[in-house]
């Protein structure tokens, strides 16, 4: 039983990351129909940047976090103002399914390359926000950072869900993704919504990187894989529902942990990816997409 609970705790922790990335992806896709394949790289910058500022440059922790979040927000703003503005507001450039993937794919490559050039290839961990030994209840142990990550994921997911569900602004954001012309007619600035939500979700991803990195460490290469699992989590939420994306992410994390604990620690990721692959191909309706009849 204790093994199951410990695996569950580990799975919920990693799943919280997937889930919140999925939620960030889902919200932004809902606004502008573009997948943010760089969300994991923002988390990486948050983790590595904070570690560097605090541990190497000896900035106070709070200041380091603020500087990093501001920097990530600035990067997101610059990318939107230059690339996405030209692509979507001016109407130049590639569109359709190419546009869905490849603009932020290019950003991901740049961020990875820049991180490697600036920070090198070593793993980094930001200082723990809640330092101390793992919390223990009988044989059940959970890392404090894991509790923070899970709590933050639940809270963030709820906030994003409530924003879209209950507020005028959230409805307007959804409208942007459904009809740009229809939004402009009623005075909704879809470009502004796209930019703001991109910045907020980038900063949120960076914050998660900071909170989670004491558990796993981040290298410059850490971003893409967690981005991809986040995309899958968002996919299980039909790229629209942040709450469901968080739940999907948690389920993926728990499945990963259980496969590792009860099947194979070597092949747990392989099995997980294979299962996800199978689900997407055989049941694309879980992504809100319909398959061709056999």
Partner 1 sequence: MPSGGAALEVDGVSVSYGKFVAVESVTFSVGAGECVAVIGPNGHGKSSLVTAIAGLVRRGGTVRVFGEALPVGNPRAAVLAGLVLVPERRHLYPELTTRDNIMLGSYSRTRRLRARQAWDDVSGVIDMFPELGRLLDQKAGTLSGGQQQMVALARAMAAAPRILLLDEPCLGLAEAVARRVYDWLREMTATDMTILLVEENPAHAILVADRVVRMYKGLVGRPEVTSP
Partner 2 sequence: MSEPAAADRGTIDSSAATGPAAAAASSAGPPAAPGPAARHVRRRDPVPLAATVAITVLGGLVLTALNGSYLGLTVTTGVAYAVVTVGMVLQLGYSRQLAFSQSVFMGVGAYGTGVLETKYGFSSLESLLAVIALAAVASLLMGAVVTRAPGLALALATLLLPLFVYQLAADSGWLGSFSGIDGVLPFWNGPDYESTLVRSGIISVLLLGLAAGLVLRVMRSGVGLQLMAMASDERLGESIGVSLRQRRLEVFVLGSVLAAVGGAVLVSAQGLVTPDVLSETSEITLLLMLFVAGRKSVIGAILGAIVIEYLTTSTSFISTNIGIIEGIALLVILLVEPDGVAGAVARLLGRRTDRWADSLRSWSAGRFRAGGGGDGARNAA
CB of 205 closer than 8 Å to CB of 40: yes
Q: For the chain, how big is the Rg over CA atoms in Å?
A: 19
DSSP-derived secondary structure letter, 113:
H
Asked if 206 touches partner 2 (CB under 8 A), the answer is no
Q: Among residues 142 and 194, whose Cβ is nearest to partner 2? A: 194
How many Cα atoms within 13 Å fall on the side-chain side of residue 18?
27
Task: Give the nearest distance from C-beta 131 to partner 2 in angstroms.
Answer: 33
Q: Among residues 114 and 128, whose Cβ is nearest to partner 2? A: 114
Q: Which of residues 245-284 bind partner 2 (CB under 8 A)?
A: 266-267, 269-271, 273-274, 276-277, 280-282, 284
Task: Give the nearest distance from C-beta 21 to partner 2 in angstroms.
Answer: 14
Among 96, 131, 132, 133, indicate the residue that binds partner 2 (CB under 8 A): 96
Q: Among residues 144 and 196, whose Cβ is nearest to partner 1? A: 196
What 161-165 contacts at long range (C-beta under 8 Å, 24+ apart), as own/partner pairs, is 161/241, 161/242, 161/243, 164/27, 164/30, 164/242
Q: Among residues 188 and 210, whose Cβ is nearest to partner 1? A: 188
Among 175, 203, 205, 248, indicate the residue that binds partner 1 (CB under 8 A): 175
Q: From the list partner 2, partner 1, none, which binds 128 (C-beta under 5 to 8 Å, kind-based)?
A: none
Distances from the Cα of 260 to the Cα of 25, 146, 170, 251, 270, angstroms = 27, 18, 39, 14, 10
Number of residues written out for the chain = 294
Q: From the list partner 1, partner 2, none, which binds 44 (C-beta under 5 to 8 Å, kind-based)?
A: none
The region of 47-55, 163-171, 208-216, 259-267 touching partner 1 under the rule CB under 8 A is: 163-171
Distances from the Cα of 221 to the Cα of 39, 111, 134, 217, 270, angstroms = 13, 10, 27, 11, 18
Asked if 97 touches partner 2 (CB under 8 A), the answer is yes
Task: Report d(CA 113, CA 136) in Å as an integer.
Answer: 40
The region of 8-16, 90-98, 138-146, 169-177 touching partner 2 under the rule CB under 8 A is: 90-98
Q: From the list partner 1, partner 2, none, which binds 175 (C-beta under 5 to 8 Å, kind-based)?
A: partner 1
Asked if 235 touches partner 1 (CB under 8 A), the answer is no
Among 106, 123, 217, 261, indicate the residue that binds partner 2 (CB under 8 A): 106
Matching residue, tokens 């546009």: 99
Task: Report d(CA 1, CA 91) in Å as an integer.
Answer: 57
DSSP 88-110: IIS--S--HHHHHHHHHHHHHHH
Task: Provide the binding-site residues for partner 2, judged by CB under 8 A.
Answer: 83, 86-87, 92-94, 96-103, 105-114, 116-117, 224-225, 228, 231-232, 235, 266-267, 269-271, 273-274, 276-277, 280-282, 284, 287, 289-292, 294
């Amino acid at each position: 039983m204790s093994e199951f609970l410990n695996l569950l705790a580990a799975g919920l922790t990693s799943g919280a990351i997937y889930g919140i990335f999925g939620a960030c992806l889902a919200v932004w896709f809902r606004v502008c129909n573009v997948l943010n394949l760089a969300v994991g790289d923002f988390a990486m910058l948050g983790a590595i940047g904070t570690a560097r500022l605090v541990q190497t440059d000896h900035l106070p922790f709070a200041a380091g976090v603020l500087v990093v979040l501001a920097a990530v927000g600035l990067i997101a703003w610059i990318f939107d103002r230059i690339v996405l503005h030209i692509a979507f507001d001016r109407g130049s450039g590639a569109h359709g399914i190419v546009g869905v993937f490849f603009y932020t794919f290019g950003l991901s490559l740049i961020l990875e390359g820049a991180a490697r050039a600036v920070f090198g290839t070593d793993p980094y961990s930001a200082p723990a926000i809640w330092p101390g030994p793992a919390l223990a209840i009988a044989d059940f142990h959970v890392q404090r950072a894991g509790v923070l990550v899970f709590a933050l994921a639940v809270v963030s997911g709820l906030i994003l869900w409530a924003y879209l569900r209950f507020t005028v602004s959230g409805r307007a954001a959804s409208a942007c993704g459904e009809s740009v012309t229809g939004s402009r007619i009623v005075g909704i600035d879809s470009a502004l919504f796209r930019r703001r939500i991109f910045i907020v979700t980038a900063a949120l991803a960076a914050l998660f990187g900071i909170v989670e990195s004491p558990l796993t460490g981040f290298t410059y290469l850490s971003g893409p894989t967690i981005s991809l699992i986040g995309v899958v989590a968002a996919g299980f939420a039909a790229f629209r529902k942040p709450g469901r994306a968080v739940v999907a992410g948690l389920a993926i994390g728990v499945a990963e942990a259980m496969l590792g604990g009860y099947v194979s620690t070597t092949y747990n990721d392989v099995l997980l990816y294979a299962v996800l692959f199978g689900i997407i191909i055989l049941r694309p309706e879980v992504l809100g997409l319909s398959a061709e009849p056999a």
